[in-house]
């Protein structure tokens, strides 16, 4: 469930390529029957940068003088809708697609975008996407049994489809990034803009990129930032709770105070919003560290732990205890 699942991780479900842990699939099979305004919302952020909300990780895009650069592709079935929303803003061709990480709710639309765009990501994204069929075949059958036993039909169906996909896909057919980088990459799209792509310390996964539009002062955080939503920390995908702190500190030190910030999930916000999320991670780590130092077992800690200040965050019931367990494992 790592790869695919991971993608799915959040409120999402992975589709085509990666996997994530235990998020319940959201049943929205009839996307094509619904009007676009109930699926997509475009938010202009100035200087030709936009946030696009749909189903899956938030998309960002920049309209340059010659071409459009897009960040993340959500799912295969919504990707054509993403493209048509961008076409409403500009008739310039989509030339680049940046994947912030390998999860299916961020890369599932790659199969559509690869027909016209160069797909770019950190090295580990490609590695994990290409390895995903093997991972699914190894890990999903047990999850499927569990889902069936729990009567979780939507999850069982999703897992079944993933297993079928893994059994028939050829690795060379996977819509993985074709241009990968190690620590930093810059795109010079014209219009006075410079697009900075930074690989951060392992946080959500070990292949996380954040994207900063220098002129527009817009930062797309991918899943290194969940705004008012409890994050999924994909440990099997190389993620880490302590790594989140390191990653967030690094990026907070780099961007200007008036930056606009697109999170992987949740609404666009500012540096204060990003700091609030950092505080959540710090508070979980602090609670785990204190419990461990006091000799409390992991089981007892996870059972008892509660951070009421974050109860209104989306996914508190689903993922908070997982975050706490991860934080305990990483505490000394
Ligand atoms: Zn993710």
Q: Ligand 1 centre from 66 Cα, in Å? A: 30
Q: Where are the beta strands (DSSP E) in 182-309?
A: 184-190, 193-199, 209-213, 218-220, 260-262, 269-270
Give tens-digit pLDDT for 154-210: 999 989 999 999 999 999 999 999 999 999 999 999 999 999 999 999 999 999 999
**Distance between alpha carbon 77 and the CA centroid of its chain, in Å?**
17
Cβ(234)–Cβ(205) under 8 Å?
yes
Task: Output the six-digit token pair for 330.
Answer: 């990483």
Q: How does DSSP assign 219-241, residue by residue?
A: EE-GGG-BTTBPPP--GGGT--H
Q: Where are the beta strands (DSSP E) in the chain?
A: 19, 41-44, 49-53, 59-63, 68-71, 94-98, 118-122, 179-181, 184-190, 193-199, 209-213, 218-220, 260-262, 269-270
Does position 31 have pLDDT exceeding 90, yes or no?
no
Which residue in 56, 60, 51 sits closest to 10, CA to CA?
A: 56
Q: Ligand 1 centre from 295 Cα, in Å? A: 33
Q: Ligand 1 centre from 204 Cα, in Å? A: 7
Q: Ligand 1 centre from 125 Cα, in Å? A: 11
Q: How far is CA 38 from CA 33, 35, 262, in A?
A: 10, 6, 20
Q: Ligand 1 centre from 78 Cα, in Å? A: 17
Neighbours of 230 (CB within 10 A): 25
Give tens-digit pLDDT for 258-269: 999 999 999 999
Q: Ligand 1 centre from 102 Cα, in Å? A: 7
Task: Output the six-digit token pair for 277.
Answer: 């999320």
Contacts of 303 (CB under 8 A, 6+ apart): none
Give tens-digit pLDDT for 273-329: 999 999 999 999 999 999 999 999 999 999 999 999 999 999 999 999 999 999 999
Q: Ligand 1 centre from 105 Cα, in Å? A: 7
Give tens-digit pLDDT for 144-169: 999 999 999 999 998 999 999 999 99
């Amino acid at each position: 469930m790592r790869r695919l699942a991971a993608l799915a991780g959040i409120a999402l479900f992975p589709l085509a390529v990666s996997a994530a842990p235990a998020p319940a699939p959201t049943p929205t099979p009839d996307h094509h029957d619904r009007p676009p305004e109930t699926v997509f919302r475009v938010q202009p952020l100035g200087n030709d940068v936009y946030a696009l909300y749909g189903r899956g990780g938030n998309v960002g895009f920049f309209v340059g003088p010659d071409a459009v650069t897009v960040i993340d592709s959500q799912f295969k079935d919504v990707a054509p809708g993403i493209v048509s929303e961008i076409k409403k803003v500009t008739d310039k061709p989509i030339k680049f697609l940046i994947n912030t990480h390998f999860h299916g709710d961020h890369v599932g639309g790659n199969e559509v975008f690869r027909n016209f765009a160069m797909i770019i990501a950190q090295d580990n994204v490609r590695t994990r996407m290409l390895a995903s069929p093997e991972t699914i075949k190894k890990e999903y059958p047990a999850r499927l049994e569990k889902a069936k036993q729990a009567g979780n039909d939507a999850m069982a169906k999703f897992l079944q489809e993933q297993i079928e996909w893994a059994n028939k896909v050829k690795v060379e057919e996977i819509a993985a990034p074709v241009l990968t980088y190690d620590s930093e990459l810059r795109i010079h799209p014209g219009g006075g803009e410079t697009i900075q792509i930074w690989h951060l310390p392992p946080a959500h996964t070990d292949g996380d990129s954040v994207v900063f539009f220098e002129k527009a002062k817009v930062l797309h955080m991918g899943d290194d930032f969940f705004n008012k939503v409890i994050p999924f920390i994909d440990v099997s995908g190389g993620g880490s709770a302590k790594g989140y702190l390191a990653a967030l500190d690094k990026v907070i030190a780099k961007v200007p105070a008036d930056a606009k910030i697109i999170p992987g999930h949740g609404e666009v916000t500012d540096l204060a919003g990003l700091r609030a999320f950092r505080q959540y991670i710090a508070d979980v780590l602090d609670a785990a560290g204190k419990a461990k130092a006091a000799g409390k077992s992991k089981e007892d800690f996870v059972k008892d732990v509660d951070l009421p200040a974050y109860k209104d965050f989306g996914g508190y019931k689903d993922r908070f205890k997982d975050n706490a367990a991860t934080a305990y494992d990483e505490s000394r």
